[in-house]
A and B are shown apart, each in its own frame.
Chain A
């Protein structure tokens, strides 16, 4: 249901009377266009609408009201798109004892139709990304489809709207929903001494969005056009659409086939105990038939084709972090008992004992021999990443290849064929007490 009413007074009749007893004769110009720029990191949408109003020469008063919506009254802006030099906003009044209403006093040197733009922030519109990954039976290639879902709980129906979605994290000093609940500009809160971001950042962002609007050429149905914008990424949904209040809409945003995929398994006792955790890995780059845009964070449903007629098996559900271009994507798909990593401490010795002046033990050295069994009971190639954490003055000797992750963590990465079993060993020497040299 439409609840936003800009009302142009035909005459400035009765305006001098007490505001709560105003009798207005108004015209109700319809919206010509509406554009929504929806942010996903904050409950914020920039709404831009255009309408054609008929001005008379001299003073015009324009009332704008928004009952039962979630519009931030401090954000409402007006500008003339045609005859801009002839139309000036003299002031804006928020009438007493009336909420969700403002009145622009506009001086026009031109009599006739003027196209105007009204812009404001609203809360209650959100968007999220989600993905469907379809792995081939060998799990070496996958089709990746991305979607965006827009939810409108703003109280307003936006008909035939162009929708743009911003991927990025912005800073706000006030929640839009709180400002909206006040119905009119309230007393400004005292700004903190050292703000993380100047208040004008919000305006700057709105400005850059506006600049971009001019260049955005949007054509074609069901297409999502993506553009880089400062530290943000802007998705513009090609087709105009109506999203009534309370409704959600999901649109395809990307689709690609034959993305190289790796079945990657991780073992780290300190994180997951004895369980081996399964990941699908792929890269958001051109070589992987992706890499045209960063992938917004969202939920992924992963399937694997299991029959020739492409029936699915449900692999799992995961959520991905924001993935910049060229970054690796790792979908965590839960524990998988069909890949086993079993570390066995096969020998433990304590030697090189040193004694202090009181005859107590002050230094000793522990030598451990570890054997790691890795077994793939699956029918596909896998890569297993085994991480081991050490502390103190430790030294490692092994014939197995490994990589230092940091000062206390190493990883062994082993490719395993279907049904393959491997073993590797390492010797760990830990110098304790006064034997430690680092």
Chain B
């Protein structure tokens, strides 16, 4: 038998047999006047449906039952919309071993009433899928936001108003076991920043000793604000596939070259509220080479205990980072350095580009000019002194 939600208005006769309760129902079945599916809460799908029921003056019984539909029975509630002051929900009865309930509704007159029932429905899920096409200069992209609805709830939802928590609701019909994907938003000219991130804690310092070319992680940063043509709502988590515009080869010599796209990578977007950044890791760059070396590593102010063991010292450390950009375009690169414990910067070649992130981490935000390899390479040096080192200094917090 088909899965269904049924409303029954009329008299519900309750008959008792010797061991089990049987209910004989004489019912009218009101049609759905409206269905609204709210998907704003990522952990729960709320359905609100409206039906026109005819009430007699006095106490009426309204039966609501469902079969094969994943309704959370503790979430069901009903509201009278037409005459909220004159139509009162007196109580709710729950028969044993049935997916059903019966409302006793008092009505001040014989009248038609629009009622709205709300319940949480499981098995109706939504995914967000983003597709982004970056301009060739990688400074902006067109973002398309797709909503993918999966209905495994057991119920066919016809002409349902779907509300995803932002923007206008839209009407869709989604049958049980149907997957429906639709474009919910298309935004052109979304500003992005493309950055490479070289982290001293995770990447090899000297590429010469590596068998393969070291790839430096490449990310797009999207800020969810109005300056980036976003900032209207929280960006929900989902998979982002990123393409870049390319010129197609002309089909024949002398013909106009068409426009195409090439897939450059994908990542999971995390939930990004307004005014916060989304960082999408899309691949690696192998056209930028970073070589970091420690050119000085001295212990100073050494203090020993009576057993001649070192119990405390300072350090004098110099680091040199050589960066080559083999690309024909400038590149933004972030160098991430980690220094545990108590330290002071003694000398720094790039104070303008220096950013202290926290007590044990700092970064250089560099823009590498195009074609700066070999003699033209960028060289960053810094000299730090670690103080009162005992060997148990914190590296994180």
Contacts and interface: CB of A to CB of B under 8 A. Distances in A.
Contacts of A437: none
A1 B19 CA distance: 7
Contacts of A247: 21, 93-96
Contacts of B304: 359
Contacts, number: 145
Contacts of B200: none
B276 A377 contact: yes
B90 A375 contact: no
A337 B271 contact: yes
A232 interface: no
B40 interface: yes
A366 to B, nearest CB: 9
Contacts of B95: 246-247
A246 B100 CA distance: 13
A222 interface: yes
A421 B273 CA distance: 13
Contacts of B305: 355, 358-360
A355 B311 CA distance: 10
Interface stretch (B132-140, B147-155, B352-360): B352-360
B390 interface: yes
Contacts of A316: 41, 44
Interface stretch (A79-87, A109-117, A320-328, A339-347): A339-347
A306 B169 CA distance: 12
Interface string B355-378: 011111000000000000000000
Contacts of B75: 301, 317
Contact of B341 (A348, A369, A421): A348
A424 to B, nearest CB: 16
A252 interface: yes
Given A250-B94, A348-B342, A312 B48 contact: yes
B359 A347 contact: yes
A419 B46 contact: no
B271 A221 contact: no
Given A244-B21, A311-B48, A375-B275, A348 B36 contact: no
Contacts of B390: 361
Interface in A372-409: 375, 377-378
Nearest to A364: B388
A222 B87 CA distance: 13
Interface string B272-315: 01111000000000000000000000000001111100011000
A130 interface: yes
B303 A314 contact: no
Contact of A222 (B38, B48, B91, B274): B91
Interface residues of A, number: 56
Contact of A377 (B89, B234, B356, B359): B234
Contact of B41 (A241, A313, A338, A375): A313
A360 B394 CA distance: 20
Contacts of B96: 245-247
A434 to B, nearest CB: 15
Contact of A359 (B106, B306, B394): B306
Nearest to B304: A359
B273 A359 contact: no
A132 B77 contact: yes
B183 interface: no
A313 B273 contact: no
B274 A419 contact: yes
B397 interface: yes
A222 B359 CA distance: 64
Nearest to A153: B96
Contacts of B387: 349-350
A157 interface: yes
A201 interface: no
Contact of B358 (A244, A249, A338, A346): A346
B173 interface: no
Given A246-B97, A247-B94, A313-B46, A361 B311 contact: yes
Interface of B: 14, 16, 18-19, 21, 36, 38, 40-41, 43-44, 46, 48, 74-75, 77, 79, 88-97, 106, 118, 120, 163, 165, 234, 271, 273-276, 303-307, 311-312, 341-342, 356-360, 387-388, 390, 393-394, 397
- Top 10 nearest A-B pairs (CB, nearest first) are A246-B96, A377-B273, A359-B305, A348-B359, A248-B94, A250-B92, A314-B46, A345-B397, A345-B359, A338-B273
Given A317-B75, A345-B360, 20 more contacts: A241-B91, A244-B16, A246-B97, A247-B94, A249-B92, A250-B94, A251-B92, A306-B163, A312-B38, A313-B41, A348-B342, A348-B397, A353-B312, A358-B305, A358-B307, A359-B304, A359-B307, A377-B275, A419-B275, A421-B275
14 contacts: A1-B16, A222-B88, A241-B91, A245-B96, A249-B93, A249-B94, A311-B36, A311-B48, A315-B41, A317-B75, A337-B271, A337-B273, A347-B359, A421-B275
